[in-house]
Amino acid sequence: MPVICKPALAVPENVITLDDTLELAQRLHSDHPRLGLALRLIRNTGVLKRHLVQPIEATLTHPGLTERTRIYVEQATRRIPSAVDEALRNAALEAGDIDAIVVVSCTGFTMPPLSTWMINNLGFRSDTVQIPIAQLGCAAGGAALGRAYDFAVAHPGANVLVVSCEFCSLCYQPSDLEVGNLLSNGLFGDAVAACVVTGHDRPGLMIDRVGSRIVADTEDWISYEVRETGFHFRLDKRVPGTMRQIAPELEKFVAENSRHVDELDVYVIHAGGPRILDDLSMYLGVKPEKFDLSRETLREYGNIASAVVFDALRRTFERQDIPDGASGLLAGFGPGITAEMVLGTWRGNS
């Protein structure tokens, strides 16, 4: 069965702390009638710092969609190579060994996709299959692993590279003053992640099953409103409560593989915010500490969209106490409301 090898993460050098974020919100929105609520929500995220592709002074400006797209491509081509190199090393592979590339991003748009640039510049074969995913938001990390699994099953022995490139700061809209948008400005960060899904014998999370679920009638709860100025993020106030609906779907998905969701060994959960983890722990009957690595990603990097699950999985690999044969669930959540899930078994070095 295909195996997910240890992911790599690359974050930009520009850092903004929680104190910086609160000070900026107070300075920029001092007359906002709901500033107090926004500040409280930002504090409650537990995000201590985030990394940005530009200094904060540049991030707060809006030079137009054309310039932002140029910056997106410039930063992507600058930062993807290091993450890809590390991911290939983690899988003991070279660029020429890769048969397909899945690239996910919801924070910038290019055509052809970034995978085309990678093939032309990073040593991949010209017959490498490209699978770009652009519209699944934070859920795309789980979806990318699912599509990599599908390819690897259809092509036994194949190696699939997955790349997540998320520069959320390039979607900052200074004119959006809704509380949900102010919260987003204090929650999201930038990162590039990469990993390999291989059909060869490697240590990692061996994929037993993948799945997707959509919560009915929630398609406008997380969305982009596309305007002349670019993507305007829309977050419905009902979103934090969606774990009540998603938890039963996770239970069913795990049960279909004759397991119980509250008895797994490893949980890699998209940390969109602390309430997602708190509620999912409660509804699934899973001890809160089982989600600690996802909380670490949220604290150190913020919500880095589709890259969250890769960093949480990277942290899981770096633990030394996961026994061979341990069971694991990876889940990403995003627009739809969509859950993208991977159920697997830990394979050690032996």
Average of per-residue pLDDT across 26-44 = 84
Structure tokens at 348: 């050690």
* Residues 167 and 245 occupy one common structural domain: no
Cα diameter, the chain? 61
User: Which of 108, 173, 84, 107 is closest to 305 using CA atoms?
Assistant: 107
In this predicted model, what pLDDT tens digit does every residue of 51-69 receive, in sequence order?
999 999 999 998 999 999 9
Cβ atoms of 113 and 101 closer than 8 Å: no
Q: In whole angstroms, give the CA distance from residue 129 to residue 135.
A: 19
Higher pLDDT, 116 or 134: 116
* Residues 82 and 119 occupy one common structural domain: yes
Structure tokens at 324: 């061979």
Cβ atoms of 231 and 224 closer than 8 Å: yes
Q: In whole angstroms, give the CA distance from residue 334 to residue 220.
A: 11
In DSSP terms, 100 is beta-bridged to 129, 160
Question: Looking at residue 188, what DSSP letter applies?
Answer: B
Average of per-residue pLDDT across 41-50 = 90
138 included as an active-site residue: yes
Residue 78 has a pLDDT of: 97
In DSSP terms, 232 is beta-bridged to 225
Cβ atoms of 92 and 202 closer than 8 Å: yes
Last residue within a domain, chosen from 182, 198, 214: 198
Residue 8 has a pLDDT of: 98
Average of per-residue pLDDT across 205-228 = 84
One-letter amino acid at 84 equals V
Length of the chain counted residue by residue: 350
- Torsion angles phi and psi, residue 55, rounded to 5: -55, 155
Instruction: Respond yes or no on whether the N-terminal peptide bond of residue 56 is cis (omega within 30° of 0).
Output: no
Domain that holds residue 129: 3-198
Q: Which of 5, 138, 165, 168 is catalytic?
A: 138
Q: What is the CATH number of the domain that holds 280?
A: 3.40.47.10
* Residues 317 and 212 occupy one common structural domain: yes
pLDDT at 350 over 60: no
Question: Looking at residue 274, what DSSP letter applies?
Answer: H
Could you give the C-alpha distances from 265 to 54, 71, 289, in angstroms and in order? 39, 41, 12
Instruction: Respond yes or no on whether the N-terminal peptide bond of residue 2 is cis (omega within 30° of 0).
Output: no
* Residues 222 and 163 occupy one common structural domain: no
* Residues 215 and 284 occupy one common structural domain: yes
**Considering the entire predicted model, what is its pTM?**
0.93
In the block, tokens 């910038």 appear at: 108
Could you give the C-alpha distances from 105 to 23, 24, 145, 152, in angstroms and in order? 29, 27, 14, 21
Strands 190-198 and 230-235: unpaired
Last residue within a domain, chosen from 181, 198, 215: 198
Strands 190-198 and 159-167: antiparallel
* Residues 239 and 161 occupy one common structural domain: no
Sign, CA torsion 21/41/314/316: positive
Average of per-residue pLDDT across 74-99 = 98
Structure confidence at residue 275 as a pLDDT band (50, 70, 90): confident
Number of domains in the chain: 2
* Residues 264 and 297 occupy one common structural domain: yes
Last residue within a domain, chosen from 163, 198, 233: 198
* Residues 139 and 77 occupy one common structural domain: yes
In this predicted model, what pLDDT tens digit does every residue of 164-179 receive, in sequence order?
999 999 988 887 767 7
* Residues 9 and 111 occupy one common structural domain: yes
Structure confidence at residue 348 as a pLDDT band (50, 70, 90): confident
Number of neighbours of residue 64 by Cβ within 10 angstroms: 12
Sign, CA torsion 240/49/62/35: positive
In this predicted model, what pLDDT tens digit does every residue of 283-327 receive, in sequence order?
999 999 999 999 999 999 999 999 999 999 999 999 867 899 999
Could you give the C-alpha distances from 205 to 201, 266, 280, 347, in angstroms and in order? 11, 10, 22, 6
Structure tokens at 225: 């409103």
* Residues 315 and 168 occupy one common structural domain: no
Residue 154 has a pLDDT of: 97
Cβ atoms of 147 and 140 closer than 8 Å: no
How many helices and strands (H and E) does the chain possess?
Answer: 11, 14
* Residues 172 and 102 occupy one common structural domain: yes
For helices 243-255 and 274-284, the axis angle rounded to 10 degrees is 50
Residue 320 has a pLDDT of: 66
